[in-house]
Amino acid sequence: MFDGMAEPRELRPHQSNAIQMLRQSLGQGFTKVVLQAPTGFGKSITAAKIIESALSKGKRVMFTVPRLTLVDQTVLEFEREGINHIGVIQSNHPRTDATAPVQVATVQTLGRQEIGSRPFDIVIQDECHIHAKIIPQLMDAWPKTVFIGLSATPWARGMGLIWQDLKVASTIPDLIEQGYLSKFHAYAPDDPDLKGIKVARGDYVEGQLATEMSKPALVGSVVNTWLEKGEGRPTLVFGVNCAHAQVLQEQFNRAGVSAGYCDAHTDRVERHLLAKQFREGDIKLVCSVRTLTTGVDWPVSCIVDAAPTKSEILHVQKIGRGLRINPGTEDCLILDHAGNSLRLGLVTSIYHDTLDKTKSGEKQKSETTAKLPKPCSKCETLHLGLICPACGHERKPIPGIETVDGELIEITDKKRVFTMAEKQEFWSMALWLDDDRQKGGKLAKGLYKGKFGVWPQGLTYDRMKPDFSFWNYEKSSRIRYAKRMAKLNK
C-alpha cells in the first residue's frame, strides 16, 4: 500500500476534457470506447479518476496491463490517488484479493483463466493497441460491461472491428504547446539502405535488419554521433534485436561511456536496479530492444533510434520515451540513425482520427497524412516548408510546381548560437588538455576551431579541468580524424 504523504492530484484541463469526451461517447450509447492520449498525458491519473467515480456508484472495475512489470507500478499509481482496496489477478501475487472492487490484471493471466461468471462493470485496457485475444472474448461474454481502451497510438490493424468509438483527448503538438511535453530537436545522421530487407507482417524482417544495422560503419556512427552531440544526456538506445542492442552497449562501453542493457528477459530486480543507476547517473544510457517503449517514466532527454521500422506506432512510442518533462530534461534530442523520421514523418506530424477496420486477409490501407521533411541545401537541416528554421535559407520552389507552405519543424539538431561564457568555458578546458598533453597550444586551437568554426578571440587564458561533455567532444574529434586518415591512406 502507498504510504507516502502525497495528496491526490488535481486533474489538468486536458485530463478533465478526456473524461468529459468519454462521458459523451457513453451517453451516445457506445460501450467500447478508446481514449487516445500521448505519452506524458497522465493516463494513470485519468484512469484513477474514472475508477474513483465508478467506485462511488458501487461498481467493480478491472484494469488490464500488457506486461507483468506494469502491475505493481499501476497499483502504486492508483494508491497514490487514494484508491486503496485493490486486488491483483496474477498467479501467486501477494496482492491477490478476490473481494477487492478494483482488480489489476495482466492480459496474459486473464487469457489463461476461465472467464468468471460475475462480470465487472467496467474494464479499462491500458495500451489497447497491443492486441490481446482475451479482450474481445470478455466483450462477448459481458455484453453489459463498459470497455475503455487507453493508448497513445490506437492505430493498430483491425481495432475498429473491436472498438466502437475513438476520442482523441489530446495530441503531442497540443501538449508541447501547453508545456506538458518537452520540445525536441531531431537529427538524422544516417538513412540506412533498406531496399534489400524483406517485409513480413507489416514490418522489416528482424534478422536481416539486424545484420544491416550491425555493420561497423553504422554502429560506429551511433556511438560517435552521441559522443559529439549527445551532451552526456540520459539516453535510451533502441536496437533491432537483442544481439544488435548488446553490440551497441559493448561499443559504448569501449568508448568509455557507461551503458546498461535491458530486454524482455531482464527480471524485475535487475530492471529496478537499472532504473536506479540511470536516475542517479551511474549509467549514462541504456540499450534495449522494444521492452522500454511503453510504461517507462525515466528522466530521459535523448533518444537514439537505431532500429528501422515501418510501424508508426512503434516509431511514436520510442520517441515518446523522451518527451516527458523531468527536472533537467526540459527538451529532448533525437538521434535517428534508423531514418524513421525521414520515412514516417516527425512524431508531431503523425495523426489519425479514426480506428482501422481492416479485416483479416485484407491489405491494410495506408492513411498516413504526415508530410515528410527534406534537407536544407545549405546546412542539411531537415524541415517542412520553404524556410529553414536553423539557418534561414529559403528553399527555391521548382518552376511550374505548386507549393504549399507548411509548419516549419526542425528535425536535425538546431544550429546553436553559443554565448561568450560557453566559448570561454570550452577554451579553458581545451587549454587545460593542451597543457596536459604538452601540445604547445595547437591542440587547444584545433579543438576550438572544430567546435565553433572560428579561431579563439577575445578570451582569457584561464584553465579549467574538462567536464564530461568536453571529453565526449574531444573523443569524437579523434575518431573523426582517425577515419579521415584511414581514407587518405587507402
Provide the terminal-to-terminal Cα distance of the chain, rounded to the nearest Å: 66
Task: Kindly state whether residue 298 falls inside one of the protein's structural domains.
Answer: yes
Band (383; pLDDT cuts 50, 70, 90)? low
Q: Is 201 found in the same domain as 161?
A: no
Tell which of 350, 382, 410 closes a domain: 350
Task: Kindly state whether residue 310 falls inside one of the protein's structural domains.
Answer: yes
Helix (H, G, I), strand (E, B) or coil at 276: helix
Q: Is 53 found in the same domain as 27?
A: yes
**Number of domains within the chain:** 3
Q: Tell me the per-residue pLDDT of 419-459, one tens digit each, with 9 for 90 and over.
A: 888 889 999 999 999 999 898 999 999 899 888 888 988 88
Q: Is 28 found in the same domain as 164?
A: yes
**Which residue range(s) make up the domain with 284?**
183-350
Task: Kindly state whether residue 1 falls inside one of the protein's structural domains.
Answer: no
Q: Is 86 found in the same domain as 161?
A: yes
**CATH number of the structural domain spanning residue 40:** 3.40.50.300
| Identity of the residue numbered 304 | V
% of the chain surpassing 70 pLDDT: 86
Q: Tell me the per-residue pLDDT of 135-149, one tens digit each, with 9 for 90 and over.
A: 999 999 999 999 999
Contact between residue 56 and residue 73 where contact means Cβ atoms under 8 Å apart: no
Ranges of beta strands (E only) in 19-113 are 32-36, 61-65, 86-89, 102-106
Q: Is 345 found in the same domain as 235?
A: yes
pTM, two decimal places: 0.78
Q: Is 32 found in the same domain as 144?
A: yes
Q: Tell me the per-residue pLDDT of 316-344, one tens digit each, with 9 for 90 and over.
A: 999 999 999 877 777 899 999 999 988 99
Contact between residue 346 and residue 172 where contact means Cβ atoms under 8 Å apart: no
Q: Is 165 found in the same domain as 27?
A: yes
Q: Which residue has the cell 479485416?
A: 359
**Is the pLDDT at 405 greater than 60, yes or no?**
no
Task: Kindly state whether residue 366 falls inside one of the protein's structural domains.
Answer: no
Q: Is 329 found in the same domain as 231?
A: yes
Q: Is 161 found in the same domain as 27?
A: yes
Q: Which residue has the cell 540511470?
A: 278
Task: Kindly state whether residue 209 falls inside one of the protein's structural domains.
Answer: yes
Q: Please tell me the predicted confidence (pLDDT) of residue 193.
A: 87
Task: Kindly state whether residue 204 falls inside one of the protein's structural domains.
Answer: yes
What mean pLDDT, rounded, does the chain reach? 86
Task: Kindly state whether residue 360 falls inside one of the protein's structural domains.
Answer: no
* 361: its cell numbers: 486477409
* Residue 82 Cα to chain centre, angstroms: 29
Q: Is 247 found in the same domain as 135?
A: no
Task: Kindly state whether residue 382 falls inside one of the protein's structural domains.
Answer: no
Q: Is 284 found in the same domain as 320?
A: yes
Q: Is 112 found in the same domain as 83?
A: yes
What's 302's DSSP letter?
E
